[in-house]
Amino acid sequence: MPLRAIHHSPVPKVARLLFADGTVILARSLVQGEVTRLGLMREAGSVVIADFGSHPDGIEVALRGVRGDACRVLAVGLDQSD
């Protein structure tokens, strides 16, 4: 399921990741700047979820771009698009 957009959320340092199927994940960077990097990956082309797993603070999500670039974010919840 491709990532379609990244929006601000009402929670500081948390972004809304909007996917093609309508799923919206609230996520924050595990490493400073990862959400920004994810935005750059999205601008370069398609980005999909490559893997996910448990993390003490939520679900760790690995995303992969068409160029093979990757980043990891922490999913802290689900949301709905505006």
pLDDT score for 79: 85
Q: From the first residue on, what is the mean pLDDT of each consecutive set of 10 residues in the chain (82 residues)? A: 92 94 94 93 95 95 94 91 61
pLDDT score for 81: 62
Separation CA 59–CA 78 (nearest Å): 11
Separation CA 81–CA 31 (nearest Å): 25
Q: Which domain holds residue 68?
A: 2-79
Indicate the number of domains in the chain: 1
pLDDT score for 10: 86
pLDDT score for 56: 94
User: 45 with 66: CB under 8 angstroms?
Assistant: yes
pLDDT score for 1: 85
